[in-house]
Homo-oligomer: A and B are copies of this chain.
Amino acid sequence: MISLSACQLQNHQLRPTGDLGVIIERATGSVQVVNTTQQEPLAKVDKLGDLSHASVVFSRDQRYAYVFARDGGLTKVDLLQDKIDHRIIQSGNSIGGAISQNGKWIAVSNYTPGGIKIFSSDTLELAADITATPLNTSTEKKAIYSKVVGLVDAPGNRFVFSLFDTNEIWVADYINQDNNKKWEIQKFTNIGKQPYDALITPSGRYYIAGLFGESGFALLDLWHLEKGVQRILPNYNNNKQTLPVYKMPHLEGWAVAGRYAFVPAVGQHSILVIDTDSWQQVATIPVHGQPVFAVARPDGRQVWVNFAYPNNDTIQVINTENYHIIHQFKPGPAVLHMSFTPKGEQLWLSVRDNNEVQVYDPATFKKSTTFPANSPSGIFFTSRAHQIGL
């Protein structure tokens, strides 16, 4: 017990996990573990592989961060000991992942080979390998499968994802009847050309895929799969001069504020406002450039927007009641990501080409602190452990 009370004095040993976060350092393949109460980095964990376009989910106890790397690496990082707990290379090229509602499964969406793999969140042992639809257009001997994008978790321990090359949405459901356990796949085809990303609404009811090959979105009501996929906003991009797309907007960055969703338009300098009851577009908000992320403050009163090159040095803040731009500023070159703390009193953003992270008070727009990070991109707080679809 002496050593026990000795370590009770070790602050490191008594670290709660409610105010932690992970910041991706893409250039160095490392992450910083940060604390939002002190607004400072706590530690660095490296050797995580190619972290361009990396994303993170958290275990339900908030102890572990699962880092999905572009090179197919899946790393389980221990936030209490600032070290890698377990790491595997699960594919050649992956694009994101999800954790099941009960916290038992980690799913990863892959480009090559196209499909998803499901792992035990505890051991990272492979639990299921779900291959996507093969491409008929393949000329190689080796079969090529559709790339998988827009993977999210849904209530009922389901995973939902989109097949970019074959225009499908699949729902994977874990069936455990009479100890006969298997992942059952329900497939929706012809959902629209080239779903490139997707999101699930905060309640976990609606899955929405953005279409790159045509105008509009594909909508699936997860409460009523029998209704199939419906198309929404089919014409929002028609008769408009679409600009060259430098960076695809992230749908995970859809801002759902009250009953309205604020959606980055592909190839336009605008944010679309959609009524999530009728799924009709109710407004178009002109903005500074091609939006990448639209992020709602947790109380839904503000939406913060960042932009693709050459406007990626700028942030605009939209008032969700009257759609006015109430604030605009330039944090620095290449603002890649923004995250609010769960109660919305802080906004963190990464400025890649300044190699720094900045923290703001969204009530006053004042910067409260800045600290260095190597080419920071994604910012992920542990409160995501408690949110469906994140």
- Could you say which of B4, B17, B37, B277 contacts A18, with CB atoms under 8 Å apart? B17
What chain B residues lie within 8 Å of A203 (beta carbons)? 258, 298-300
- Could you say which of B4, B10, B12, B61 contacts A19, with CB atoms under 8 Å apart? B61
> In angstroms, how far is the closest chain B Cβ from the Cβ of A308?
29
- Per-position 1/0 for A379-390, Cβ under 8 A of B: 000110111100
Looking at A48-56, A238-246, A324-332, A339-347, the stretch in contact with chain B turns out to be A339-347
> In angstroms, how far is the closest chain B Cβ from the Cβ of A219?
16
What chain B residues lie within 8 Å of A385 (beta carbons)? 18, 342
- Could you say which of B6, B35, B204, B321 contacts A7, with CB atoms under 8 Å apart? B6
- Could you say which of B7, B16, B342 contacts A10, with CB atoms under 8 Å apart? B7
A190 at the interface (CB under 8 A from B): no
Complex CA distance for A10 and B157, rounded to whole angstroms: 32
> Known contacts being A4-B10, A204-B299, is A156 close to B363, with CB within 8 Å?
yes
Complex CA distance for A3 and B4, rounded to whole angstroms: 8
The answer to whether A80 touches B16 (Cβ under 8 A) is yes
What chain B residues lie within 8 Å of A35 (beta carbons)? 61
Interface residues of chain A: helix, strand, loop or mixed (majority): loop
The answer to whether A58 touches B204 (Cβ under 8 A) is no
> In angstroms, how far is the closest chain B Cβ from the Cβ of A339?
13
> In angstroms, how far is the closest chain B Cβ from the Cβ of A355?
27
Identical copies of this chain, number: 2
Output the nearest chain B residue to A298 by Cβ-Cβ distance: B388
What chain B residues lie within 8 Å of A8 (beta carbons)? 13, 81
What chain B residues lie within 8 Å of A61 (beta carbons)? 16-19, 35, 37
The answer to whether A16 touches B386 (Cβ under 8 A) is no
A136 at the interface (CB under 8 A from B): no
Residues of A near any B CB (own CB < 8 A): 2-4, 6-8, 10, 12-14, 16-19, 35-37, 58-63, 79-81, 101-103, 155-157, 203-205, 223, 258-259, 277, 298-301, 321, 341-345, 363, 382-383, 385-388
Q: List 27 A-B contacts (CB under 8 A).
A: A3-B3, A3-B7, A8-B81, A13-B14, A14-B80, A17-B17, A18-B58, A18-B59, A18-B60, A18-B61, A18-B382, A18-B386, A37-B61, A60-B341, A102-B343, A102-B345, A155-B299, A155-B301, A155-B344, A157-B345, A203-B258, A203-B300, A204-B298, A342-B385, A342-B387, A343-B387, A383-B386
